Structure 1
């Protein structure tokens, strides 16, 4: 009789745990849906951010600052002394130090989360879980944990920190299965800015006249 009661109690405990997990997942998804609705409501977004890469195996850490402009699917990212631009059709990687421009189709197989897609990548392909709430300089940052559904990806998990008041993304922490950790912290988040009409347009003639080597993949 005692073992039967223990079995029933364990089943009830597991049922409660599954129910709480489901509720937390629903709550996390609801918050992400709010963030997504906010993001797509803007004409454009300009963010300044810190980009940190840590490698546990080699015990190394690097940190740089960057800036990104987003308008629908189009983007322009300044990072590591180079520019990456997507005009809706092609991706242009401009490296002034090498005087090179690489033109290629967007990569559908890219798994890692980049500054250009950190505001929308979470919409699909992940399981969600409610995580910790942090106070960051008086701002309440609610974290949601995302686990990729695709087990073949190199990403183990992603923590997405969301400003509870503005519903803007404040921080993204991506942990790889190899032990690498990438952190993107948003320092400035501006919307509906008067961007130049040519911001997402690649002027090939200009770069050729400056002696750049154009590579087409």
Structure 2
């Protein structure tokens, strides 16, 4: 596998909805009444960079030990920021979309900045700013049992997925360990995820996600910064004064 695989990650809630749109502008119709699913669609793939389960007893397969080390590494982080690009392709549907942005996370709070949107989760409420419409949608942030969140991201795959070591790849002087995850629930649309882990640093460099409808989701992280000093509670709060002339739709 000489070709570098970029970073693919799993979103819960709106993977199927994405295939119905032709750009990375997400209209209000794609946002549920509580505003949660759009944020899940954007943040979960990035959260999954930190997904590794806490316990991985799986025979003699080395994937368990690898993921344990990755998990311990990421659990030591208090916050992070990163730039990212993503690509979604479905050849049969004629979809090939790209975009880039930034993500900031601290505990259960996050901010995602895209070319057309900004999403703020302060841990209680969800703020979705649609730049082209100068509109801010506000809703209560409500979790469900199947949602992947910062509080359960280290155990989610332990109970929902099986995993197996695939191979090691040597590229540009570094070694990448590849682990494949498959859902225990065979009815899921996402039938396979591959993680690409830096063997020395024990960091997830990339991943690859496959949907049964033929879609491939591609994400790449760059400029990763650990515990950046500018991240505090105020950074993850909504300041109305910073959005003059913006229509606010409060759905709380």
Q: TM-score normalised by the shorter chain: which range applies? A: 0.7 to 0.9
Q: What aligned pairs does 1:108-127 form with structure 2 within 5 A after superposition?
A: 108=144, 120=154, 122-127=157-162
Compare CA radii of gyration and give the structure with the larger one.
Answer: 1
Distance of 1:110 and 1:214 partners within structure 2: 27
For residue 77 of structure 1, the aligned residue among 96, 103, 112 is 112
Contact 1:67–1:77 (Cα < 8 Å) also in 2: yes
1:201 aligns with 2:249: no
Name the residue aligned to 1:22. 59
Equivalent position to 1:101, from 136, 158, 173: 136
Cα deviation for residue 206 of structure 1 reads 4.3
User: Aligned equivalents of 1:216 and 1:48: distance in 2?
Assistant: 30
1:65-124 Cα shifts (integer Å, max 9, x gaps) = 22111112211112342122221122222111111222232453777x89x89x756454
Tell me how far apart the structure 1 counterparts of residues 245 and 145 of structure 2 sit (CA, whole Å): 33
TM-score (norm 2): 0.66
Structure 2 unaligned regions, length at least 5: 1-57
Q: For the residues of structure 2 that align with 1:94 and 1:211, how far apart are their CA atoms?
A: 9
Q: 4+ residue stretches of structure 1 with deviation over 4 A?
A: none
SS in 1 for 2:187: coil
1:171 aligned to 179, 198, 206, which one?
206
Q: Residues 145 and 159 of structure 1 are in contact (CA less than 8 Å); yes or no, is this contact kept in structure 2?
A: yes
- Within 1, Cα distance between the matches of 2:115 and 2:213? 23
The structure with the largest strand share of the pair is 1
Which of the numbers 169, 176, 190 marks the counterpart of 1:155?
Answer: 190
Mapped to 2, the partners of 1:100 and 1:136 lie a distance apart of 45
Give the whole-Å Cα distance in 1 for the aligned partners of 2:97 and 2:76.
34
Provide the rounded CA distance (Å) in 2 between the counterparts of 1:195 and 1:70.
11
| Bigger RCO of structures 1 and 2 (CA < 8 A, at least 6 apart) | 2
Q: Using the alignment, how far apart are the partners of 2:113 and 2:146 within structure 1?
A: 19
Answer whether contact 1:169 1:186 (CA < 8 A) is retained: no
Q: TM-score, normalised by structure 1?
A: 0.76
Aligned residues: 191
Distance 1:62 1:110, change over 3 A: farther
Q: Secondary structure at the match of 2:196?
A: strand
Give the whole-Å Cα distance in 2 for the aligned partners of 1:179 and 1:56.
7
Q: Which runs of 5+ in 1 are unaligned?
A: 1-20
2:69 — aligned with what?
Answer: 34
Matches within 5 A, 1:49-64: 49-64=84-99
User: CA RMSD, aligned part only?
Assistant: 2.7
